[in-house]
Homo-oligomer: A and B are copies of this chain.
Amino acid sequence: MNFSIAEENYIKAIWRLQQSDSNVTTNELSAELQTKPASVTDMLKRLKEKKILNYEPYYGVKLNTDGKKIALGIIRRHRLWEYFLVEKLKFEWDAVHVIAEELEHVSSPELIERLDHFLGFPKADPHGDPIPDSSGRMETTRHISLHQLKEQQPAVVSGVNDQSSGLPEILRQKKISIGTKVEIKQRFLFDGSLEIKIRNQPLITLSEQLAKNIFVTPL
């Protein structure tokens, strides 16, 4: 089956929301996609027709097996393009999400397989998010935000928020990137800021805002 750009954006949004909350509501989707709830209802009815999700009026929606596979195909395209934009075209990684939102809808399977090969079959995109393989399999990363990390618990930076602009600049200055080993030494309740220890570096301070945009995997 073939999906329009609008349909693909809905499918991807449902998939994303479904990760944290298995049942996705109309209002959640409307917020995620910047549309009105009435438009969401219309689209859900159309996608139900196409048999890729279970939609129960008033009770929310959930992608079925086919729907999930389609979503992972779109996510694969999105993340491969993001990797291309950063690794080959030398974009900063806070600029690529918007462009990949468009590129992900180019629908040639052969294009994506060749792109994957050209890029050397990357496992993760520039934000640390795993790239599904051509059959839709993807490693489930179990990472939490640095803000949620316990004190004195060593962890490695495994991801960053893909939407926030200006993040690369501040992380470069703080000498933090994906793969950096970190540990929270002190947390201030006053403003949520953190004192962080990085190997061979003096203690550095991170704001709550910043810590919420960095994701880590505890060791």
Q: Which residues of A contact B (CB under 8 A)?
A: 85, 88-91, 95, 98-99, 102-103, 106-108, 110-111, 114-115, 117-118
Contacts and interface: CB of A to CB of B under 8 A. Distances in A.
A107 B102 contact: yes
A114 B102 contact: no
List the 6 closest pairs (A to B, CB-CB), nearest first: A89-B114, A102-B106, A99-B108, A89-B118, A99-B111, A103-B106
* SS class, residues of chain A in contact with chain B: helix
A102 B103 CA distance: 9
21 contacts: A85-B111, A88-B118, A89-B111, A89-B114, A89-B115, A89-B117, A89-B118, A90-B114, A91-B110, A91-B114, A95-B110, A98-B108, A99-B106, A99-B108, A99-B111, A102-B106, A102-B107, A102-B108, A103-B103, A103-B106, A106-B106
A8 to B, nearest CB: 13
Nearest to A98: B108
Contacts of A103: 103, 106
A97 B102 CA distance: 19
